[in-house]
Chains A and B, each alone.
Chain A
Amino acid sequence: MSGAGTPGTGAGAPGTGGPGRVTRTGALPPAPTAPRSGPTPTSASAHEPYDVTVIGAGVVGTAIARELARHRLRIAVVEAADDVGEGTSKANTAILHTGFDAVPGSLEARLVREGQRRLAAYAAECGIPVERVGALLVAWDEEQLAALPALRSKAGRNGYDRTVLLDAAELRAREPHLGPGALGALEVPDESIICPWTTPLAYATQAVRSGVDLHLNCRLTDAGPAAPGAGPRTLTTSRGELRTRYLVNAAGLHADTVDRMLGHDTFTVTPRRGQLIVFDKLARGLVDHILLPVPTALGKGVLVAPTVYGNVLLGPTAEDLDDKRATGTTADGLACLRARGARILPALLDEDVTAAYAGLRAATEDDDYRIAPWPDQRYVTVGGIRSTGLTASMAIAAHVTGLLADCGLDLGEPGDLAPVTMPHLGERFPRPYQRADLIAADPAYGTLVCHCERVTRGEIRDALTSTVPPVSVDGLRRRTRARGGRCQGFSCGAAVRALLEGHDRLETR
């Protein structure tokens, strides 16, 4: 699709050198001669290195790139996969946490709390679907019921004091389809659901439009030695070399590997798999809140939650593995989830399953994020972002920007970012197929291609011509929901693929 040096589309930040590049193939192009980001263009000589390079285009790496793009800097993001958010960021439970149950006083607790506020505001501004549905921690036995008051005071210590204790009758009034035996609950009214796919895409889109270069299909293989003084280091990637003054490691599951390239051996990532089942939209009426289990020594347990697209999620499992590529589901995992689901929401199991998937949490030896500056190397490690990274992403980005400054990066005054409006994939607002105004202006928004998810040809075309376009059916699905419904392509799969592959006419024969 987009070859080497394909320029991003859309306006650059005001007063700068325009948008950055999104590249997927070929040798890496030289860094831009002038910083594209920031408020004032400067004259710089050719063959300058990047000021900052971020390894990893997950939700954390893209958030960092976006935050840095406010400043007059040359920035690159280097990502091994062919798209943004292809790692853990595409496969999570999609909850925007309040942080009510974090470890009080931890870095994670602070960044989740702050990240939640930042992301909720950002989502409203640029069209990332969020629904404040609230959570209920449901107690299924006396021991769990007895644990609720302590969770309530823990929430208080995390600065969250809006929890409410509910008795069995109040709980049932809120969730009439709950299985028998629920004794009570702790209500957390501000727990929200969010679109995990739009979030990193919004960050990446805004970063690129504000001048950041995004190099995909580009794996870092060697970080080279730090040059003396303020000189740049040379990174080796699968697409050639790249010079950079500062380096940020946001490599998710591989943050330990990248850290070792820089000579640090302070933590090891152990992938903790979480398998999930997605139920069809006809199940959405069964549940109004995020139904959380009361946490036990064994972890957070299995939840049932609506999604912003109107599905219902059941999961995740928690399995410690040693293979960082083990993103498959297993018969045991799915059976275990169904058994849990049968207790929580019995009617759920009668509904169709539209997908099953697994994500890997980047767990480490530690119970907290592993974010560390290495001023001598002009390098920041952002590791161990396990199960809350979507929520905390913007706060992590602000924190890391501060650490880069502590390492000597001259940020200068921040400027404005190029604006972004993302296509709204959620069900809370009218979708394009429901909008007479859009269809009147462009009939492509009245031409349904994916019937289960009601995705129009106009939306698919927009995604294919966006700043960071997809190159795979899955990438297109994450941008539009096309082919993501109950029929899994029985009706629309071939038509969606034809559009992705650039065939203009439906049914060419």
Chain B
Amino acid sequence: MRPERTVDVLIVGAGPAGLAAAAGLAAAGVGRVEVLEREERAGGVPRHCHHGGFGARTFAGLTGPGTSGPRYARARVDAALRAGASVRTGVTATGWAGPLTLDTTSPRGLERLTARAVVLATGARERPRAARLVPGSRAAGVYTTGELQQAVHLYGQHIGTRAVVVGAEPVAYAALDTLRRAGVEVAAQVTAESRHRATPWRAAESRLRYGVPLLTGAAVTELVGRGRVSAVGVRHRTGLLAQLSCDTVVFTGDFVPDHELARRGGVSLAPGTRGPAIDADFRTDIPGVFAVGNVAHAVEPAGAVAAEGWRAAVSVRRYLLSGRWPSVVRGV
């Protein structure tokens, strides 16, 4: 039925984690290293983060500016290719046909790939409105940062005129940048927490230079609007209720691992993160199956994730040489 093929290492996901693991493994000469990426372009989330700050290095306590997401993504792809890995875009791993065998779909057809080791690097997504159980109208104009960035930076789509941004993790500030770029006024940034979680500089810039008010201790209670959002209802921890009028709402952060493939493969999840449970060597409880990057934990800067990918490559290579797998995988 499906054409079958074998490779040495199959990596699912060409984000910073998967690409770094691929580069490390290919450079070490483990044989055929193949990365599957379901999008038309490799690079993962940085592909659509047009702001800077990617791969910033810290020397003697000073952090450099880093580079833009798309440039960072291209550099990671080039590094993996140069090392000799094969990066196949437009290919989705759709499910398992055996412990180390994955089925794929691409415009070229169906395939069944068996590997000596599989690395899951499928990333994470922001929790969207419905999963946050925010009640009210199902009106249009509701985004996550991921969708907003793609809409603005990859497609140049019209967004709206006035937005409320939910969340105050660093990614919320990326959303503010994107809204500004799209010419959308920001009515307010709201978070249920008592303070923001970005750098003091980022937070101050947003408030003072761009005049975006940050409402802390404020939970979004409902979305209002027919057809298009017209307001969000918020409740302050003092009990005060208010409606902020807007035509756009961006739910940011609150990351959830994209664990579908891990779960369908029978990999146990870590109770806290609901990502695959892994040990310090990125091993899951299925022999030969590793997990690395955002799929295994909430977001870290891309540079940190790529560093993990390198370390995972070392573990995978050690496994390929020894064939040893612990009988009990102890979570980190």
Contact = CB atoms under 8 A, between A and B. Distances in A.
Nearest to A82: B227
B144 interface: yes
Main secondary structure of the interface of B (DSSP, over half): mixed
B256 A448 contact: no
Interface in A470-496: 472-474, 486-491, 493-495
Interface in B119-171: 125-126, 128-131, 133, 135-138, 140, 143-144, 146-147, 150-151, 153-157
Interface string B79-90: 000000000001
A487 B1 contact: no
B155 A329 contact: no
Contacts of A487: 125, 128, 144, 146, 258
Interface in B1-52: 1-2, 38-41
Contact of B155 (A352, A357, A444, A509): A509
Contact of A436 (B2, B130, B133, B226): B2
Contact of A448 (B38, B129, B130): B38
A472 B136 CA distance: 20
B73 to A, nearest CB: 13
Interface stretch (B100-108, B180-188, B281-289, B295-303): B100-108
A356 interface: yes
Given A328-B137, A490-B144, A498-B157, A433 B128 contact: no
A429 B193 CA distance: 46
B307 interface: no
A446 B109 contact: yes
Contacts of A507: 40-41, 154-155
B202 interface: no
Interface string A445-489: 011100110100000000000000000111000000000001111
Contacts of B147: 489-491, 493-494
Contact of A447 (B2, B107, B144): B107
B1 A436 contact: yes
A329 B135 contact: yes
B130 A356 contact: yes
Nearest to B137: A328
B197 interface: no
Given A328-B136, A494-B154, A509-B154, A282 B110 contact: no
Contact of B226 (A325, A433, A501): A325
A196 to B, nearest CB: 16
A354 B107 CA distance: 28
Contacts of A495: 150, 155
Given A282-B263, A497-B151, A331 B222 contact: yes
B94 interface: yes
A454 B128 CA distance: 18
Contacts of B39: 491
Interface in A306-339: 325, 327-331, 333-334
A508 B130 contact: no
Contact of B105 (A327, A433, A444, A488): A433
B68 interface: no
Interface of A: 278, 282, 325, 327-331, 333-334, 352-357, 433-434, 436, 439-440, 443-444, 446-448, 451-452, 454, 472-474, 486-491, 493-495, 497-498, 501, 503, 506-509
Nearest 4 CB-CB pairings of A with B:
A488-B128, A443-B107, A494-B150, A493-B147
Given A493-B143, A509-B153, 4 more contacts: A328-B136, A331-B135, A436-B1, A488-B131
Interface of B: 1-2, 38-41, 90, 92, 94, 105-110, 125-126, 128-131, 133, 135-138, 140, 143-144, 146-147, 150-151, 153-157, 221-222, 226, 256, 258, 260, 263
